[in-house]
Structure 1
Amino acid sequence: MSRFSHHPWRGGALAVILAFTASTAIAQEDMARPMPPDTLEWGAAPPSLPEGAELAVLEGNPMEAGSFVMRLRFPDGYAVAPHTHPTAEHVTVLSGALLFAHGDDPASAEPQEIGAGGFIKVPADHPHRAEAQGETVIQIHGEGPFSISYLDPADDPQGQSN
């Protein structure tokens, strides 16, 4: 036996070193990834949304299972007709304002203005619509796959009717 094998700190020191090594490996996998606004890569929104919106994915893949974070940028007056999503949608208005209406008949429901800093939680399969007032940027996070089903198939920009 080594002359160090009976020291009370030996086992504890080894455990601390192993724990530090493991936590360092985990920390490297989950390192912070700052994303200043001017570094976001904006592109056209998917064809399931009306033309004119731009999309930036911050984390995950909205089209696959798992969590995601994305931003959408809308021009003034941009509107998304009444629709639902199969999963909950968590929306934060970052700039501009969103007119949001929901319920059994969102087309005729009185919209509520949600300004910058406001938040909306839309449950899965809950009918709603939205319209931008001024250039508006929203951030959506949730669980994928993210999809949109229009209440009136004629509103679907892809021209698909189910």
Structure 2
Amino acid sequence: MKGITRVLTASAVLCAGSLFVLHSQSQKHVLDNPDMVSWGPAPPLIPPGAQIAVLSGNPMASGPYSIRLKFPANYAIAAHSHPTDENVVIVSGALTFGMGDKLMKDSAQNKTMPVGGYALMPANMNHYAFTTDQETTIILFGQGPVEFKYVNPADDPRNAKGAMK
């Protein structure tokens, strides 16, 4: 998903109240059932209300990572881009994606992905995402560090009054 500035470092994310459950990718297998996932608030680079669980790697560091994100109903992430490819698999609910410089929920070009759907958002491509009337869980994976560059700086939650930076 897109952003305007580099994401916070892992320590800044932790200071912001995010919870990460980190697994080593090089020395052990990761075998997590959905009921074993530890959820915590997502980092402030996306709007409040989302939850995160790190499955493997460290999304704030260089290298591969896999995370789960849970979005509430009627949640939206404004137009943004990333410097690396972003892979998304829908686990529950549905997530609508659109391409462009502004979130447009009524665009005929939007594509809603159901459970099992997969999306690849190429590096540096402006896109947005939103849920409708149901909670949605996704698995997101790629190469870190995760960075968000919002098209409109005013859409960046880190620029909100009172946001921790």
Query: Could you tell me which amino acid in structure 1 is paired with residue 111 of structure 2?
Result: Q
Q: Which residue does the alignment assign to 2:78?
A: 81
Matched, 1:146 2:146: yes
Q: Which residue does the alignment assign to 1:66?
A: 63
For 1:61 and 1:128, locate their aligned partners in 2 and report how far apart those are by CA, in whole Å: 23
Instruction: Please tell me the root mean square deviation across aligned C-alpha atoms, in Å.
Output: 1.5
Q: Which residue does the alignment assign to 2:21?
A: none
1:41-96 CA-to-partner distances (Å, cap 9, x unmatched) read 11100001100000000000000000000010000011000000111000001110
Structure 2, unaligned runs of 5 or more = 1-25, 161-165
Structure 1, unaligned runs of 5 or more = 1-28
Matched, 1:159 2:162: no
Runs in 1 of length 4+ with deviation above 4 angstroms? none
Q: Is the radius of gyration larger for structure 1 or structure 2?
A: 1
Q: Which residue does the alignment assign to 1:53?
A: 50
Q: Which residue does the alignment assign to 1:7?
A: none
For 2:102 and 2:154, locate their aligned partners in 1 and report how far apart those are by CA, in whole Å: 16
Q: Which residue does the alignment assign to 2:6?
A: none
TM-score (norm 2): 0.75
For 2:141 and 2:56, locate their aligned partners in 1 and report how far apart those are by CA, in whole Å: 9
The structure richer in helix per residue is: 1
Q: Which has the higher contact order (CA 8 A, sep 6+)?
A: 2
Q: How many residues align?
A: 131
